[in-house]
């Protein structure tokens, strides 16, 4: 399946708050006890992994997207830019061109098709990427600026950076954004395996189905982790059975886990059964991928 040496695991869910970050941070910390591990926080709208993974900040880099900037002195007001922009980000009103930075997809059409070269592209900050190191664990966090609407370009940039810098790290875990739309698709790109975290409730099941559909469309091998097992009913398990989806683990509902999580603490070394659950998840995925 994969040609790279690294094992890239995405951790996703349709529904928010099912335990993506809980699993990502603990799985990463657990793996890093024995080998170099990379954890990438792609939930750029609300990144949370840094709360659980403390370490030394090694690097912070600002991230930009390219947007057109109007050079009034060159403009002939032909209106071509406004016609060419499918996102209504470049609007001409008489003798004025207005650019809506938030709507721009950085396709360059307005800029490169402008006969007067009156729309040069410039950098515009959308967020930052931070690297935190704790012994064998490297956390790369993406953080979208508040007010910036598009997560996808930032997610792409993180992938690119990580690909270049950390190719050799054997275990790579990607904590994905919730939902099933474009940010999730961008986040799972180029990963070898996707873990879908859900909870045994009707909401959990409904959103799990959507996430499974998405992953099937992307042709990703998947496995399910049921978090807070015991709070709801057995419908999620029945669904997995019918659809032949492997359940990698069931994490029982435990007030101690909720308590540690609320305090921003890792649980893999505090809750007795977590170690074996995490080891089992890694073993199962490796067996599936590395054949």
Partner 1 sequence: MNEIVILSGKGGTGKTSIAASLAVLAGNDAVIADCDVDAANMHLLLKPDFGYTSEFYSGELAVINHDLCTKCEKCEEICRFDAISFINFQYQINSLNCEGCGYCEKICPSRAISMHEQKSGNLYISITRLGSTMVHAKLNIGAENSGKLVAKVKSEAKLSASKDGKLYIIVDGSPGIGCPVVSSLAGANYVVLVTEPSVSALHDLKRIYALIKKFRIKAGCIINKYDMNIEKTMEIKSYLNEENIVHLADIAYDINFTKTMIEGKTIVEIPSPLKKIIENIWKKIRSQLIIKKNENCIYINRKQLEF
- Name the site residues for partner 1 (rule: CB under 8 A): 14-18, 21, 43, 45-46, 48, 51, 84, 86-87, 105-109, 112-113, 144, 146-147, 149-151, 177-185, 199, 201-203, 206-207, 210, 213-214, 217-218, 231-233, 255, 258-259, 261-264
Dist. CA 61–CA 67, nearest whole Å = 19
Q: CB of residue 21 vs partner 1: minimum separation in angstroms?
A: 7
Q: Which is nearer to partner 1, 171 or 214 (CB)?
A: 214
Percent helix, strand, coil in the chain (nearest 5)? 35, 25, 40
Q: CB of residue 207 vs partner 1: minimum separation in angstroms?
A: 4
Q: Helix H segments across 32-180? A: 49-52, 80-84, 109-112, 152-165
Residue with structure tokens 């799990």? 208
Q: CB of residue 109 vs partner 1: minimum separation in angstroms?
A: 4
Do the bridges between strand 7-12 and strand 193-198 make them parallel or antiparallel, or are there none, so unpaired?
parallel
Q: Which is nearer to partner 1, 233 or 280 (CB)?
A: 233
Q: Which is nearer to partner 1, 76 or 181 (CB)?
A: 181
Dist. CA 60–CA 138, nearest whole Å = 13
Q: Which is nearer to partner 1, 167 or 182 (CB)?
A: 182
Q: CB of residue 276 vs partner 1: minimum separation in angstroms?
A: 25
> What sign for the dihedral angle of Cα 20, 24, 26, 30?
positive
Q: CB of residue 45 vs partner 1: minimum separation in angstroms?
A: 4
């Amino acid at each position: 399946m994969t040609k790279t040496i690294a094992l890239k695991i995405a951790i996703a869910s349709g529904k928010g708050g099912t335990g993506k970050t809980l699993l990502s941070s603990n799985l990463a910390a657990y793996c890093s006890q024995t080998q170099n591990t990379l954890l990438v926080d792609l939930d750029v709208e609300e990144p949370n992994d840094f709360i659980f993974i403390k370490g030394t900040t090694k690097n912070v880099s600002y991230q930009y997207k390219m947007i057109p900037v109007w050079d009034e002195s060159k403009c002939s007001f032909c209106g071509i830019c406004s016609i060419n922009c499918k996102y209504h980000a470049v609007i001409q009103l008489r003798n004025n061109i207005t650019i809506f930075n938030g709507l721009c997809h950085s396709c360059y059409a307005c800029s490169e098709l402008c006969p007067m070269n009156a729309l040069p592209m410039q950098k515009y900050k959308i967020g930052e990427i931070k690297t935190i190191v704790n012994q064998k664990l490297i956390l790369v966090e993406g953080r979208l600026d508040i007010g910036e609407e598009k997560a996808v370009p930032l997610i792409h940039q993180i992938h690119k950076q990580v690909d270049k810098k950390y190719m050799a790290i054997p275990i790579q875990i990607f904590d994905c954004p919730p939902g099933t739309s474009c940010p999730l698709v961008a986040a799972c790109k180029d990963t070898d395996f996707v873990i879908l975290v859900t909870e045994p409730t009707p909401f959990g099941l409904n959103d799990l189905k959507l996430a499974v559909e998405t992953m099937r469309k992307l042709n990703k091998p998947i496995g399910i982790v049921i978090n807070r097992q015991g709070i709801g009913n057995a419908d999620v398990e029945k669904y997995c059975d019918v659809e032949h989806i492997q359940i990698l683990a069931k994490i029982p509902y435990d007030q101690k886990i909720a308590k540690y999580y609320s305090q921003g603490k890792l649980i893999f070394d505090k809750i007795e059964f977590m170690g074996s659950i995490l080891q089992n998840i890694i073993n199962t995925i490796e067996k599936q991928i590395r054949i």
